[in-house]
Amino acid sequence: MADVVSKTALDCGIVIEDDWPGYNIDLFSSPTHYSGDLECVYIPHGVIMDRTERLARNIMDDLGDHDLVVLCVLKGGYQFSADLVEGIKTLSRNSNRSIPMRVHFIRLKSYLNDQSTEDLQIIGAEDLSFLNGKNVLIVEAIVDTGNTLKMLLKHVEGFRPKMIKVAGLLVKRVPHSVACLPDYVGFEIPNRFVVGYALDYNEYFRDLDHICVLSETGKMKYKI
């Protein structure tokens, strides 16, 4: 994937340029029931896994020997969170440093079709008092305007954790961003609506292994 990358940096992730057309969908395996619904494969599954492994190493380097509460943001973040936690566990087993972890799940809902809304619902986060004095790693699949992440951070800070770090698989370049960025970023991508690897469009496409760009046909087919 070197031909789509302008630079690599630990603070901003792998940067995918605006003119990156993606890979032909026919070159990859994808569920036949989504035939015609996808424009292209944007980030293949193997590339996601390689980058997740690197993020696990970065987290291990920074937070090794610290107890950690992983706060997984559902539903889109479950696959990234599972793979990231597994990567950290693998490193922990093969190192003289370790990160004792516990995992908690919350759910955020702020999208209607392909548009983010101001109506943010936080489900499962009513009482996070167990975060008091703990080191917290929030794991989020995608950050666009940063408004959702900003509101979530404010909510979590209210429970007075010792430290909060954020790992985000994708950061989308969008207008009017509040510049609330994760500490660990997988990929910085253009402002295109992507699905797959547990990212959905009205609950469809979570069963894709790759991150793909949704076609206009797909948007209309599954619109509510």
Using alpha carbons, select from 171, 160, 162, 156 the residue that is nearest to residue 104. Answer: 156
Is 11 domain-assigned? Answer: no
d(CA 160, CA 27): 48
d(CA 20, CA 42): 8
| pLDDT for the residue 120 | 64
Is 196 domain-assigned? Answer: no
User: Per residue of the chain (224 residues), what is the pLDDT tens digit?
Assistant: 444 443 343 457 999 999 999 999 999 988 999 999 999 999 999 999 999 999 999 998 888 777 899 999 988 999 999 999 999 999 988 888 778 889 999 887 665 545 555 566 777 666 788 899 889 999 999 998 888 888 889 889 999 999 999 999 999 998 766 667 899 999 999 999 999 999 999 999 999 999 999 999 999 999 98
Query: What are residue 103's DSSP bridge partners?
Result: 70
| pLDDT for the residue 144 | 87
Q: Give yes or no: 144 in active site.
A: yes
Is 12 domain-assigned? Answer: no
| pLDDT for the residue 123 | 74
Using alpha carbons, select from 32, 73, 17 the residue that is nearest to residue 207. Answer: 32
Is 34 domain-assigned? Answer: no
H or E element in which residue 20 lies:
none
Instruction: Name the active-site residue from 144, 200, 207, 209.
Output: 144
Query: What are residue 189's DSSP bridge partners?
Result: 172
81: CATH? 3.40.50.2020
Is 168 domain-assigned? Answer: yes
Domains contained in the chain, number: 1
Is 109 domain-assigned? Answer: yes
d(CA 153, CA 3): 35
Q: What is the extent of the structural domain holding 63?
A: 46-191
Is 26 domain-assigned? Answer: no
Is 180 domain-assigned? Answer: yes
